[in-house]
Amino acid sequence: MRDFVEGFLKFQREAFPERSELFQRLATTQNPTTLFITCSDSRVVPELLTQREPGDLFVIRNAGNIVPTHGHEPGGVTASVEYAVVALGVTDVVVCGHSDCGAMTAIANCKCLDNMPAVAAWLRYADAAKAVNAAQDFRDPRARLSALVRENVIAQIANLRTHPSIALAVQQDRLTLHGWVYDIESGDIEALDGASGSFRSLSRHPETSATPI
C-alpha cells in the first residue's frame, strides 16, 4: 500500500491544487452528462480514454460490462442506471467493451467456472451474445473473441432498453445510447453504427458516435 499512499500524497500536493476550483464546485453537487458502463479490467480507465475531468462521467464497472435485464438483478447496476437517468439526467449512455476481455474469453472458450459460481451466474446475462457468436464460423479463436466482445456490447444495449427509465428517456429523445469497443494495444475505439449495425473506428469516423442506435 505504500505506493498508493505516496500516490495520494502526490495527488494532494500537485493534482488537487491545480483543480481546486473544480473540486470546490463538486463538493456539493455533480452534473455528469454521460453514464459510462465498462469492464472492471484494470487496463480500462474511462476518464483517461475520454480525457474527462472529475464530475464528467457517472461510471459503472463490472466483469464483462454487463447490464442485467430489468427485474432480474435488483442490485447495484440497476440502481445506478436508474439514478443516472432519473436523478442526474444524463443525456448519453456508453456501453464500452474491450479487447482481451477475461469475461468474454471465458465464454468464448467455454471455460469451466465451477470454482467461481458467482462469475458463472453473472455471465449468463451475456447469453444472447454467446448464442449469436456460437452460430458463426471464425478463422481462429482470436477472431471469435473479438466478435464476441462486440456482440456482447450489442446484447447489453438491448438489456439496457428493458429498464423503464432508459426506455422512457429514449422514447422522449432525452437519451442516446452508444456502443464502444476499446482496443488496448492500439488505443483505438470502435463505435457501433446504428445505421449499418457494424463497428467503425472513431479515429477515422468520429461522426459514428452520433449515429442513433
Residue 98 assigned to a binding site:
yes
Return the domain boundaries, the chain.
31-186
Sign of CA dihedral 94, 76, 61, 122: negative
Name the packing angle between helices 127-134 and 141-160 (round to 10°).
Answer: 140
Residue 39 assigned to a binding site:
yes
pLDDT per position as a tens digit, 153-178: 999 999 999 999 999 999 999 999 99
State how far the alpha carbon of 58 is from the alpha carbons of 47, 77, 84, 92, 183, in Å. Answer: 10, 12, 7, 10, 22
pLDDT attached to residue 170: 97
pLDDT attached to residue 71: 84
Cell numbers that stand for 129 in this block: 451474445
Span 116-140, mean pLDDT? 95
pLDDT per position as a tens digit, 30-74: 999 999 999 999 999 999 999 999 999 999 999 999 999 998 666
CATH superfamily of 31-186: Carbonic anhydrase (3.40.1050.10)
The residues annotated with a catalytic role in the active site are: 39, 41, 43, 98, 101
